[in-house]
Amino acid sequence: MVQPVAEVVEKPAEKPGDVKIEQKVEVTKEEKPVAEKITAGHVHLSGCTGCLVSLADNYEGLFKLLDDYVDWVYDLTLADVRHVPEMDVAFVEGSVCLNQDLAVEELRETRKNSKIVVALGGCACYGNVTRFGRGGQWNQPSHEAFLPIGDVIDVDLYIPGCAPTPQQILHVAVMAYLLLKGSDEQKELATSYLKPLMDLAKRGTEACGCDLMFDVINQSLCMGCGLCAASCPVRAIDMVFGKPQIDTSLCIKCGACYAQCPRSFLNMDVINEFEGITELVAAAMGTGGE
Amino acid sequence: MVLGNYKQCVSARATDRSILARAQDGGIVTQLFAFALDEGIIDGAIVAGQGEQPWQPEPIVATTKQELFAAQGTRYNICPNMALLKEATRSYGLDKVGVVGTPCQMQAVRKAQLYPVGMRYVGDKIALAVGIFCMENFPYQGFEAMTEDFCNVKLESAAKMDIGKGKYSVYTERGAVSQMPLKHTLKFVQPGCHVCLDYVANLADVSTGSVGSPDGWSTVFVRTKNGDDIWAKAMAAGCFETKPIEEVKPGLELVTKLATDKITKNQKHVDERATFGVRADGSGKALRSYL
Ligand code: SF4
Ligand code: SF4
Ligand code: SF4
């Protein structure tokens, strides 16, 4: 299991030169006539960095995001900052290992310093593959208590999935910006958009393909569309006679299927506006009107 | 919102005789996808192909007109087309995906685009979503019971099924027709349909169904900018013969009536869920409602 927290936090900044370059970039940014930005960062706990790669997989979208909407104030990989600073939105990747005090400390620090804590990806939301950690692995054989971050701190919003998709991350980032800096109307839209993902955070820290049986089929809500099967990253779901059949031995507990199912939540006030919202996000990203 | 947002509504049928001859109604879906394939508007479409059991649909990705034609006609049981939504962009390598589905499946498409939790780089590749009117759907086994036990036709020897005018009708290859009253099919409806508040696929780019138009024609709602754009191109290419919906019988009045009936009935069911199975002390409840 990757344990970047201890390593990086304890490591002295080896190349002070890098810091200067970072600062220069900051200065150039400030000179641009852009609207007020929100501050956000990435907190890396026990995850594989796939969530962060997914953020980066927005390609030009990521640059646009950083140019116009977000000051990225904390990130072990991208920003040379040692301690979790104050920020509007913290994207936390990975579960928290309770056998490692520093991880717990950093997570608590994150909660204290952030307005909105987002559990980014299946591991932070539900434990995901780290649920299968049972100790004995190199290079930390005594690490085995990998918990979803919601077991340790209050989490505001979930982005489930393994990896979470670049598009879902982008949508949340844009909506978080609108929520904090937008017009009243935009705030309202952002609130409606984000609410179901906030409800997911309230729903709990356990996920499994079984959720489709317990909370959709057993609730007489499944209508056999098959979207759950499409969303599963490990193809654990087959559609058999119009209902999902889950191979639980394949399921990695990422939570994507249930969140993606149109019968887990379907907030029509938002979904009905699909054309407008798609255009809004495209316009914000400067990709509209093609 | 009974009929959803739309830019125009017409009664239409395909001009391609071979499509029309095999069509359930006006051949709209097949003709529209065939045109979109020809024009490169889509690279392929997710449609209902033939599954393992007789009359069991199975989602397929059709990338040729032959495959589209082979998938024509309605089979009244569940076809989980959304299961291929991501796969169409992966194994099949489509950049522009066409997809047909029920109203609930159009809701799935839009949720996949707005909340792409497990749909990496899929949303922007959905190039044409065609919705079909839907009152309810049946699990395969219920559909089998209706056809074989009630209508007394072996599925293997059925040539066509049809729902309309208050009856479920099965036509055999030898020309016999057997029917059952629609009300007797109710117990076979999949329960997930009872919370469904959409009859005419409000979230599709273009939605279509037989209701409202004369035999052999279909009612068509053109809904989104994208749908409008594609429909205009198809019209310009002479794909469809159309009549203003106001001039055909029974027209929009019947569509509105059926949509209202469905929504009213199901809204009542949704409301009942709020109290269904609540304990004597007022705690708990048996069934969740997602709405
Ligand atoms: S996504 Fe939901 S409604 Fe659709 S088949 Fe899966 S469980 Fe059923
Ligand atoms: S079944 Fe698939 S999508 Fe659902 S939780 Fe398991 S791994 Fe994730
Ligand atoms: S009635 Fe609604 S839920 Fe049932 S298949 Fe039709 S569109 Fe889907």
pLDDT digits (tens, 9 = 90+) for A76-94: 888 888 899 999 999 999 9
Searching chain B, which residue's CA lies closest to the CA of residue A265?
A: B290
Q: What is the mean pLDDT of chain A?
A: 89
Residues spanned by the domain of A172:
35-206+266-284
B259 prior amide bond cis, ω within 30: no
Instruction: Take residue B31 and report the two structure tokens written for it.
Output: 């003709």
Q: How confident is the model at residue B211 (pLDDT cuts 50, 70, 90)?
A: very high
Provide the CATH number for the domain around residue A128.
3.40.50.700
**What letter would DSSP give residue B177?**
E
Within-domain flag for A98: yes
Searching chain A, which residue's CA lies closest to the CA of residue B109?
A: A227
CB under 8 Å to A216, separation ≥6 — which residues?
Answer: A222, A258, A261, A263, A264
Q: Which residue puts its alpha carbon closest to atom 4 of ligand 1?
A: A225
- Residue A229 to residue B83, Cβ atoms within 8 A: yes
Question: Residue B164 has what pLDDT?
Answer: 83
Within-domain flag for A189: yes
Please, which residues bridge with residue B132 across strands?
B208
Number of CB pairs, chain A paired with chain B, less than 8 A apart = 160
Give the range among A5-19, A28-42, A176-190, A247-261 with minimum mean pLDDT. Answer: A5-19
Question: Residue B97 has what pLDDT?
Answer: 98
Q: Which residue has the higher pLDDT, A202 or B75?
A: A202
Surface of A (239-268) touching B: CB under 8 A: 239, 241-243, 254, 256-257, 259-260, 262-266, 268
Within-domain flag for A29: no
Q: How confident is the model at residue B288 (pLDDT cuts 50, 70, 90)?
A: confident
Residue spans of beta strands (DSSP E) within chain B: 8-14, 44-50, 57-62, 97-101, 126-132, 158-164, 167-172, 177-181, 206-209, 218-222, 240-244
Within-domain flag for A112: yes
Q: What is the mean pLDDT of chain B?
A: 95
- Write the pLDDT tens digit of every residue in A88-121: 999 999 999 999 999 999 999 999 999 999 999 9
Query: Which ligand is the nearest neighbour of the Cα of A264?
Result: 1
Within-domain flag for A218: no
C-alpha B217: how far from chain center? 16
Amino acid, single-letter form, for residue A251: C
Q: What number of other Cβ atoms are within 10 A of residue B183's Cβ? A: 10
- Write the pLDDT tens digit of every residue in B4-44: 999 999 999 999 999 999 888 899 999 999 999 999 999 99
A33: left (phi over 0), alpha (psi -120 to 50) or beta: beta
Question: Residue A34 has what pLDDT?
Answer: 53
Is any ligand 3 atom within 6 A of the Cβ of residue B103? yes
Q: Collect all residues of chain A within an 8 Å Cβ-Cβ radius of residue B287.
A: 219-220
3-state secondary structure A179-243: HHHCCHHHHHHHHHHHHHHHHHHHHCCCCCCHHHHHHHHCCCCCCCCCHHHHHCCCCCEEEECCE
Task: List, in order of start, the domains of chain B with CATH numbers.
Answer: 8-135+189-288 (no CATH), 138-188 (3.10.450.750)
Within-domain flag for A28: no
Please count the structural domains in chain A. Answer: 1
A135: left (phi over 0), alpha (psi -120 to 50) or beta: left
- Residue B193 to residue A223, Cβ atoms within 8 A: yes
Please, which residues bridge with residue B161 across strands?
B170
Question: Residue A139 has what pLDDT?
Answer: 85
Q: Which residue has the higher pLDDT, B47 or A25?
A: B47
CA-nearest of A255, A212, A252 to A234 is A252
Amino acid, single-letter form, for residue B261: D
- Write the pLDDT tens digit of every residue in A154-172: 999 999 999 999 999 999 9
Q: Does the complex come out with an ipTM higher than 0.85?
A: yes
Q: Which residue puts its alpha carbon closest to atom 4 of ligand 3?
A: B193
Is any ligand 2 atom within 6 A of the Cβ of residue A236? yes
What percentage of residues in chain A have a pLDDT greater than 90? 82
- Residue B118 to residue A232, Cβ atoms within 8 A: yes
Residues with CB under 6 A from ligand 1: A 212, 216, 222-228, 244, 261-263; B 80
Within-domain flag for A20: no
Amino acid, single-letter form, for residue B146: M
Question: Residue B18 has what pLDDT?
Answer: 92
CA distance A91 to B237: 50
Within-domain flag for A44: yes
Question: Residue A8 has what pLDDT?
Answer: 40
Question: Residue B285 has what pLDDT?
Answer: 81
Q: Is pLDDT of B98 > 90?
A: yes
